[in-house]
Amino acid sequence: MNKNSFVQKVFHKVYSEKIYVKLILFLIPSFLTFFVFMIVYGLTRALEEIFLFLIPSVIFGIILNILFFVKAASEIYDEQLSAIRKYKQKTTSLKLDFNVNNILFARFVRKGNKKTGNIGIAFYSIKIVNISNEPCTVKDVVLRYEFGDKKYSVISNVLITGIISPSKAKLDVNAIIVEMGTDKIIIGNWENLRTKLGLFKILEPGGVLEGSVFYVLEFDDIEKARILENVEIVISDYSGIESIHPIDIQEKWIVQGKNASIYPRSFISDGEGIIKND
């Protein structure tokens, strides 16, 4: 709510509506005082002291102006608040279909990062579909969860990716490496969703936004994933409206994640699983 615009509207409402009525109201105290004085002391004396009768009107006018301003400010505030509520109601009526696939816990390894060694959770595919009749703008997709006595809200890490460059006439694709013990598994088509959000403007009705996310958590022991509570993906737009989607932690994610780690780096793979420059 713009403060200057609000003040201007209040002044306009006070001084543009029925100004002649306000003028009459301001003069009523002076007329009454003059009339009483004239009855008591006569017309001649009343005319001699006429300027004294302006004092009640000045005082009354100040009080009346304050009341007018309070009333006008209250009415305009209610109007603007009502408009905001209507906008939010319209915005919250937008519906987003949400799907996730291929979820894995993995240790995050990155030199120089303060969270290196912590456990992270990877969502290989997050698909957001606007199933409403209104366009919307997706600002962020965060992970919220409770751990111990604290609540956390985590933005996704933009992972450095390598590329799969097939020898045949196919397009290169971005990829990451997930290490499972001594094995290295190349995960192709890893498209950081957070990067896409920076380029994405409007999700039209029926529009689809899809990508991959990796969130680094606040602990380094995979077993602690079992005590995570109220885990949810939260999609927000630029007006602050949220679409909340609970995530049920699966035991198999934890088991698979015991030996899994992700060390983001650049590399080139030939498309047959051979890493050329790791």
pTM of the model: 0.65
Q: For residue 189, give both structure tokens.
A: 């088509």
The fold of the 96-269 domain, in CATH, is Immunoglobulin-like (2.60.40)
Task: Delimit the domains of the chain by residue range.
Answer: 3-92, 96-269
The pLDDT, as a whole number, for residue 154 is: 96
| Residues 271, 272, 275, 276, Cα dihedral to 10° | -80
Q: Which of 129, 195, 133, 137 is nearest to 161 (CA)?
A: 195
CA distance 164 to 228: 35
CA angle 201, 207, 209 (to 5 degrees): 65
The pLDDT, as a whole number, for residue 27 is: 61
List, edge to edge, every strand of the sheet that includes 229-237. 150-154, 138-147, 229-237, 242-246
Pairing of strands 229-237, 242-246: antiparallel
Q: What is the mean pLDDT of each run of 10 residues along the chain (278 residues)?
A: 55 55 59 67 65 62 68 70 54 70 92 82 94 86 94 95 79 91 91 88 88 95 94 89 90 94 90 72
The pLDDT, as a whole number, for residue 191 is: 95
The pLDDT, as a whole number, for residue 69 is: 65
Residue 166 identity: P
Q: Are 174 and 268 in contact (CB under 8 A)?
A: no
DSSP summary character for residue 278: -
Q: If you count DSSP H runs as helices and E runs as strands, how many of each does the chain have, helices first? A: 6, 12
CA distance 246 to 241: 16
CA distance 9 to 233: 41
Count of beta carbons in the 10 Å neighbourhood of residue 20: 7
DSSP summary character for residue 112: T
The pLDDT, as a whole number, for residue 1 is: 46
